A = this chain, B = another copy of it.
Amino acid sequence: MSILSISEFVGTLAFAMSGALLGISKRLDYYGVVVLAVITALGGGMIRDVLIGNTPPMALTAPFFTIISIITAIMTIYFYQILNKHRSMIQLCDAFGLAAFTVMGASMATAYGYTSPFIVIFLALLTGTGGGTIRDIFVKEIPYVFRKEIYAVASMIGAVVYLLAYLHVTEVMAVYACFITTLTIRLLSIRFNLHLQV
């Protein structure tokens, strides 16, 4: 397994967990908690697939990560007390997820033949941050990604790095450069509590 696959896996776990934890704290029932977990982990990718005409979306035709998210949600319900104490660890996993999902969005763009910076950044951002945005709207929160910290910006810079490396070096290089860039910026912003307040 490559570092990217592992991060994708870890990221899906972290995204699903963040959805489930929020759902539990909002007193949703089992079904609501599971849906919120799935939407957080897969919602961004589903919207991306619909926008580029890749229907039915991967989340339905290759539901491995969907099933992982459902299992994660159920585990989160049972181990809520323990998990709730390790929020900073979940935030760390989430950073790996953001990086892995950003790579997936950017490489999906180039795989479909789009090399316009605009589309590459858009799909990377959507894949990386779309799920969390829908999660927050579903439970009546103004999306976290619109309010706090360097989250979307990490994904955006990662996408730019991906495209530059893709066009001028190799695709493999692009994948790693994007991953490392997004992860580093995100971790630094958590560590130093950086914001972009207007």
Contact = CB atoms under 8 A, between A and B. Distances in A.
Interface of A: 23-24, 26-33, 35-36, 46, 50-53, 55-57, 60-61, 63, 66-67, 77, 114, 116, 118-119, 122, 137-143, 145-148, 151-153, 195-198
11 contacts: A27-B147, A31-B145, A50-B50, A50-B51, A51-B60, A52-B55, A60-B119, A63-B119, A138-B142, A138-B143, A138-B146
A46 B119 CA distance: 14
A197 to B, nearest CB: 5
Contacts of A141: 140
Given A146-B23, A147-B29, A60 B118 contact: yes
A146 B55 contact: no
A111 to B, nearest CB: 14
A29 B197 contact: yes
Contact of A29 (B56, B60, B196): B196
Contacts of A53: 53, 55-56
A63 to B, nearest CB: 5
Contacts of A143: 32, 138
A18 to B, nearest CB: 16
Contact of A146 (B36, B119, B152): B36
Nearest to A36: B146
Given A35-B146, A36-B146, A56-B51, A66 B28 contact: no
4 tightest A-B CB contacts, nearest first:
A32-B146, A53-B55, A29-B196, A31-B152
Contacts of A114: 56
Nearest to A70: B118
A114 B57 CA distance: 13
B140 A142 contact: yes
A29 B152 CA distance: 11
Contacts of A151: 31
